[in-house]
Amino acid sequence: MVDLTPIAKYRAPDFTNEHEIGVGDGPHTTDGKTTQISDVVIKAGGQDRDRPTEASNSSLGQLRAKLTSLQDNINIFLTERMKYAKEQDSKDIERRILDDGVDEDESD
Amino acid sequence: MTVDLDKRLRPGRDYYLALGLEGSANKLGVGIIRHGVGEPGPHNSAQVLSNVRDTYITPPGEGFLPRDTARHHRHWVVRIIKRALADAGVCGRDLDCICFTQGPGMGAPLQSVVIAARTLAQLWNLPLVGVNHCVGHIEMGREITGAQNPVVLYVSGGNTQIIAYSRQRYRIFGETLDIAIGNCLDRFARVLKISNDPAPGYNIEQMAKKGRHLVELPYTVKGMDISMSGILQYVDVLAKDMFSSTPKKNKNLVDQESGELITPEDLCFSLQESLYSMLVEITERAMAHVQSNQVLIVGGVGSNERLQEMMELMVNDRKNGSIHATDERFCIDNGIMIAHAGLLSYRMGQTKELKDTVCTQRFRTDEVWVNWRDD
Amino acid sequence: MTDRVVQLVEDILPGIPLQVVSQGAEAVVFRTGVHPYTAHPSLTNPNQFIIKYRPSKKYRHPKIDASITKSRTAGEVKFMHRLAKAGINAPNVVSADFKRGLIWMEHLGEVLPSGEVSSFKNHLWSVERTRSPDECVSEDIQRICEQVGQLIGQLHHNDMIHGDLTSSNIVLQKKVPYLIDFGLSSYSGLAEDKAVDLYVLERAIQSTHSMYAYKYNQWLLKGYEAAYGTNKQNRRKYVEVMGKLEDVRQRGRKRSMLG
Q: Residue C147: enclosing H or E segment and its boundaries? A: helix C139-157
In a domain, C259, yes or no: no
Tell me which residues of chain C, numbers 112 to 171, contact chain B at a CB-CB cutoff of 8 Å: 121, 163-166, 168
C-beta atoms of B219 and C163 within 8 A:
no
Instruction: Indicate the number of domains in chain C.
Output: 2
Question: B219 — contact with chain C (CB < 8 Å)?
Answer: yes
In a domain, C15, yes or no: yes
Last residue of a domain, one of C106, C128, C152: C106
Global ipTM: 0.84
Closest-CA residue in chain B for A53?
B75
CA distance B31 to chain A (A): 21
pLDDT of A15 over the 90 cut? no
Q: What is the CATH number of the domain that holds C214?
A: 1.10.510.10
C-beta atoms of B65 and A46 within 8 A:
no
C95 and C130 fall within a common domain: no
Structural contact between residues A92 and A52, judged by C-beta atoms closer than 8 angstroms: no
- A61 burial via Cβ count (<10 Å: 0-12, 13-18, 19+): middle
Q: In chain C, which stretches have pLDDT less than 70?
A: 1-2, 252-259
Q: Give the long-range contacts of residues C6-15, CB within 8 A, separation 24 or more.
A: C8/C53, C8/C55, C9/C51, C9/C53, C9/C102, C12/C97, C12/C100, C12/C102, C13/C51, C13/C102
User: Per the confidence metrics, is the pTM higher than 0.90?
Assistant: no
What is residue C253's predicted lDDT score, i.e. its pLDDT?
Answer: 62
Torsion angle in degrees (nearest 10) through CA of B129, B135, B140, B145: -160
Question: In this predicted model, what pLDDT tens digit does every residue of C207-254 receive, in sequence order?
Answer: 889 889 999 999 999 999 999 999 999 999 999 999 999 998 887 665
Classify strands B15-22 and A19-21 as parallel, antiparallel or unpaired: unpaired
In a domain, C92, yes or no: yes
What is residue A101's predicted lDDT score, i.e. its pLDDT?
Answer: 60
CA distances from C237 to B291, C149, C223 (A): 37, 16, 15
Measured distance CA(B358)–CA(B356) in Å, rounded: 6
C209 and C96 fall within a common domain: no
C131 and C188 fall within a common domain: yes
Structural contact between residues B294 and B150, judged by C-beta atoms closer than 8 angstroms: yes
Task: Give me chain A's average pLDDT, please.
Answer: 85
What is residue C53's predicted lDDT score, i.e. its pLDDT?
Answer: 95
Structural contact between residues B140 and B330, judged by C-beta atoms closer than 8 angstroms: yes
Which domains are seen in chain B, by residue range?
Answer: 15-141+333-367 (3.30.420.40), 147-230+263-330 (3.30.420.40)
What is residue B33's predicted lDDT score, i.e. its pLDDT?
Answer: 98
First to last CA, chain C: 35
In a domain, C100, yes or no: yes
C-beta atoms of A50 and B76 within 8 A:
yes
What is residue C2's predicted lDDT score, i.e. its pLDDT?
Answer: 66
Note the Cα A97 to chain centre separation in Å.
Answer: 32
Across chain A, where does the E strand assignment appear? 8-10, 19-21
Tell me the three state secondary structure of residue B181: helix
Question: In this predicted model, what pLDDT tens digit does every residue of A44-77 receive, in sequence order?
Answer: 877 888 889 899 999 999 999 999 999 999 999 9
What is residue C254's predicted lDDT score, i.e. its pLDDT?
Answer: 57
Contacts of C163 in chain B (CB under 8 A): 222-223
What is residue B80's predicted lDDT score, i.e. its pLDDT?
Answer: 97
C-beta atoms of B24 and C57 within 8 A:
no
Please state the residue numbers annotated as binding site of B: 133, 137, 154-158, 186, 201, 205, 304, 333
Question: B158 — contact with chain C (CB < 8 Å)?
Answer: yes
Closest-CA residue in chain B for C196?
B222
Residue B227: CB atoms within 10 A of its CB come to 17
What is residue A104's predicted lDDT score, i.e. its pLDDT?
Answer: 46
In a domain, C113, yes or no: no
| Domain around C125 | 120-254
C153 and C245 fall within a common domain: yes
Tell me the three state secondary structure of residue C161: strand
C129 and C246 fall within a common domain: yes
Last residue of a domain, one of C106, C134, C151: C106
What is residue C1's predicted lDDT score, i.e. its pLDDT?
Answer: 53
| Chains with 3 or more CB pairs under 8 A to chain A | B
Q: In chain B, which stretches have pLDDT less than 50?
A: 1
- Bin B168: left if φ > 0, else alpha if -120 < ψ < 50, else beta: left
C-beta atoms of B313 and C23 within 8 A:
no
Tell me the three state secondary structure of residue C101: coil
Classify strands B151-155 and C170-173 as parallel, antiparallel or unpaired: unpaired
What is residue A91's predicted lDDT score, i.e. its pLDDT?
Answer: 80
Name the residue among B59, B75, B76 with its Cβ closest to that of A44.
B59
Q: What is the CATH number of the domain that holds C31?
A: 3.30.200.20
DSSP B176: B
CA distance A16 to chain B (A): 28
Last residue of a domain, one of C59, C75, C106: C106
Question: B266 — contact with chain C (CB < 8 Å)?
Answer: no
Please state the residue numbers annotated as binding site of B for a divalent metal cation: 133, 137, 154, 333
CA distance C164 to chain B (A): 4
What is residue C256's predicted lDDT score, i.e. its pLDDT?
Answer: 47
Please report, for chain C, how many H helices and E strands are present, in that order.
Answer: 8, 9
Question: In this predicted model, what pLDDT tens digit does every residue of B4-33 receive, in sequence order?
Answer: 899 899 999 999 999 999 999 999 999 999
In a domain, C161, yes or no: yes
What's the half-sphere exposure (Cβ side, CA atoms, 13 Å) at C24? 23
Please report which residue ranges of chain B form alpha helices under DSSP H.
Answer: 66-88, 107-124, 133-145, 181-191, 200-208, 229-242, 264-290, 305-316, 328-331, 335-347
Structural contact between residues A8 and A21, judged by C-beta atoms closer than 8 angstroms: yes
Q: Residue A13: is the preceding peptide bond cis (ω within 30°)? A: no
Contacts of B74 in chain A (CB under 8 A): 52
Measured distance CA(B205)–CA(B184) in Å, rounded: 14
What is residue C250's predicted lDDT score, i.e. its pLDDT?
Answer: 83
Q: Which of A41, A49, A50 to mutate to test the interface with B (most CBs of B within 10 A)?
A: A50
C83 and C152 fall within a common domain: no
Task: Give me chain C's average pLDDT, please.
Answer: 90
pLDDT of A106 over the 70 cut? no
